[in-house]
Structure 1
Amino acid sequence: MKKSLVLMLVMLLSVGIVLAACGGKESSNSNSNASKLDQIKDRGKLVAGVKYDVNLFGLKDPKSGDVKGYDIDLMKALAKHIFGKDKKIDDILELKQVNSKTRMELVSSGDIDLASATATITEEREQTVDFGNVYFIAGQSLLVPKDSKIKSVDDLGKDTVVISVKGSTSEQNIKEAAPDAKVTLFDDYAQAFTALKSGKGDVLTTDNAILMGMHKQDPDYVLTGGLFTDEPYGMIFNQDDDEFREYVNDFLNDMKESGELAKIYKKWFGEEPPEDILKENTMLK
């Protein structure tokens, strides 16, 4: 009898463990199957990838630790849209630093919910991630010291060292526009600008809006050569997050219609946004 009772208890205990494991697995699966927006709401916080080294878009103040810029203000507005305007922004928004090389990887892996990080929409990139509607339009240009003889991409020859950033469209574009020039790459724009100022290159190339921020930091460096590309920016989404992407697109459309997007744009760039940005559902294709 004692052996039978012990055997029954062992069997019941084994069944309980199996059921508990199955229950835990089911709970985990149900969470993973929730939409991105539901996951964000359950978490109670939006996790957004932004740059910390691009003046006017996302720049970290070394003294206060605050990150400020156009992208940052848009992410703050999105977090308030999701959780309510009465919530404290630090409670509902977590900013994670990304750069041109890591932003798409971190979205694809699910480490961040989306990235708003000066990302140009391209068909090549759309093979691995999705983009939201256009929220900024830039064009590639050149930044040089005030006394530079470089006036356009036509002046970039075999003796010219051009500084750019890894993983950016600027790297590809400059190699096509000035195939004879030497291109030196850095991980982020802070490093690239420091390299230009320390004489490690003759010219720095990227989107004009980013270069404008550098010029504001140090007026001894100026933009030249006009624009030689079109660079429409879009927020980056995981390809499985169609519902969340459309939710953010609707949010952007509301911002455009209410005038809030224009207000934020003017705050950072000192002028009204171009009409193409304010059109509803502005997209690359």
Structure 2
Amino acid sequence: MKFRTLSAVAMMAASLLSSTVAFAQSSDAVIDRIREKNAISIGYREASIPFSYIDKEGRPVGYSTDLCKEVAETVKTALDLPDLKIEWVPVNLQNRIPLVANGTVDISCESAVNTIGRQSQVDFSNPFFISHTRFLVKAGSGIAALADLDGKSIALPINSVPERLIKSLVEKDDLNVRIVPVKDNSEGFLALQTGRADAFSTDDILLFGLKNKAVDPAAYEVVGKPLSYDSYGFLVQKNSTVFLTLVNATLARLSREGELQALYGQWFDPMGVPLSPDLATVFHVIAIPE
């Protein structure tokens, strides 16, 4: 038994060594940039709570941010760059895809929904979260569904999946809903707070994040049935196969070892959002063996 255990450990070590050597001998545009700069540029958002946002000290933090720190560690080992630095680059809904596509950002680590349209411009990692489009409203507003917004207004983030979805549903149901365009989640929440909009719609997990960070969380509620099924992935430059493999290998390892589930608990349990059966299944699926 002891011999078989030692043999298994030896085989695993040999496998890891051969994988590292293979990556060290492989390359793509992102890998070349990282080697040249001895740095990896990670895109982050300022108010995509709890995925990627700025803390009180002005540092990027969040669930996605933690995952991409693990990606950086994987890259450091695979490319034998012990002094690899992380360059944090702020991104928003409007510029994140162009910055990844042109190579300014090596990986955007926030809350990007994987869509066919976006796949024409960038590549996505394996999914690490599942979300749904819903509404954030003031408590006691009487708004529980899109139909309740007839004759009212809704704030929608520009160039987002929820914006396109809600607009199409408003047109389909012939509703009289005034659209208030906002640049990000902070502006959308402000529009709701100040009465510029009767509701703010985006991914429900982001709405829970805004609600929990409010001065009075009880003054707001997330309502409505799920209007979409959206998977989040990290954005990387097109055709960066070697780098994307390292990203997905990191997610697979974290899932196999239970770290992905632990990070979920760290960031989402305090929000009262338990791990859903859908996301639990995703974690199992992405735990690809080495």
The two structures share one fold, judged by TM-score above 0.5: yes
The aligned residue for residue 208 of structure 1 is 204
The aligned residue for residue 8 of structure 2 is none
The aligned residue for residue 232 of structure 1 is 231
* Residue 100, structure 1, aligned to residue 93, structure 2: yes
Contact 1:55 1:213 in 2 (8 A): yes
- Structure-2 separation of matches of 1:281 and 1:149: 40
The aligned residue for residue 266 of structure 1 is 265
Deviation (angstroms), 1:197? 0.6
Deviation (angstroms), 1:91? 6.2
Give runs of aligned pairs for residues 125-204 of structure 1, distance below 5 A: 125-157=118-150, 159-179=151-171, 180=175, 181-204=177-200
- Cα gap change, 1:100/1:90 in structure 2, threshold over 3 Å: closer, same or farther? farther
| Residue ranges of structure 2 left out of the alignment (5+ in a row) | 1-26
Contact 2:41 2:106 in 1 (8 A): yes
- Cα gap change, 1:90/1:138 in structure 2, threshold over 3 Å: closer, same or farther? farther
The aligned residue for residue 119 of structure 1 is 112
Which residue identity is paired with 1:215?
K
- What do the CA deviations read for 1:18-66 (whole angstroms, capped 9, x no partner)? xxxxxxxxxxxxxxx85422421332221011111122111212x4112
For normalisation by structure 1, the TM-score amounts to 0.81
- Structure-2 separation of matches of 1:236 and 1:254: 19
| Residue ranges of structure 1 left out of the alignment (5+ in a row) | 1-32
Task: Provide the aligned length of Structure 1 versus Structure 2.
Answer: 246
SS class of match (2:101): helix
- Cα gap change, 1:34/1:238 in structure 2, threshold over 3 Å: closer, same or farther? closer
- Which residue of 267, 272, 279 corresponds with 2:284? 279
- Structure-2 separation of matches of 1:226 and 1:153: 9
The answer to which of 143-152 and 93-102 deviates more is 93-102
Contact 2:155 2:180 in 1 (8 A): yes
Contact 1:48 1:96 in 2 (8 A): yes
- Cα gap change, 1:215/1:77 in structure 2, threshold over 3 Å: closer, same or farther? same
Contact 1:45 1:91 in 2 (8 A): yes
Q: What percentage of aligned pairs have identical amino acids?
A: 27
- Structure-2 separation of matches of 1:167 and 1:269: 26
Deviation (angstroms), 1:174? 0.6
- Structure-1 separation of matches of 2:240 and 2:119: 13
* Residue 245, structure 1, aligned to residue 241, structure 2: no
The aligned residue for residue 34 of structure 2 is 40
- Structure-1 separation of matches of 2:226 and 2:62: 23
- What do the CA deviations read for 1:62-101 (whole angstroms, capped 9, x no partner)? x4112211111111111122225xxxx9962122111111
- Cα gap change, 1:256/1:77 in structure 2, threshold over 3 Å: closer, same or farther? same
- Structure-2 separation of matches of 1:37 and 1:276: 31
SS class of match (2:221): strand
SS class of match (1:117): coil
Q: CA RMSD in A?
A: 2.2
Deviation (angstroms), 1:194? 1.1
Give runs of aligned pairs for residues 15-54 of structure 1, distance below 5 A: 35-54=29-48
SS class of match (1:223): strand
- Cα gap change, 1:168/1:182 in structure 2, threshold over 3 Å: closer, same or farther? same
Deviation (angstroms), 1:117? 1.9
- Structure-1 separation of matches of 2:89 and 2:38: 16
* Residue 58, structure 1, aligned to residue 52, structure 2: yes
Which residue identity is paired with 2:157?
V
- Structure-1 separation of matches of 2:203 and 2:67: 19
- Structure-1 separation of matches of 2:42 and 2:94: 16
- Cα gap change, 1:241/1:222 in structure 2, threshold over 3 Å: closer, same or farther? same
- Structure-1 separation of matches of 2:213 and 2:225: 20
Deviation (angstroms), 1:128? 1.4
Which residue identity is paired with 2:242?
E
The aligned residue for residue 8 of structure 1 is none
Deviation (angstroms), 1:132? 1.1
- Cα gap change, 1:151/1:254 in structure 2, threshold over 3 Å: closer, same or farther? same
Greater gyration radius: 1
Contact 1:35 1:243 in 2 (8 A): no
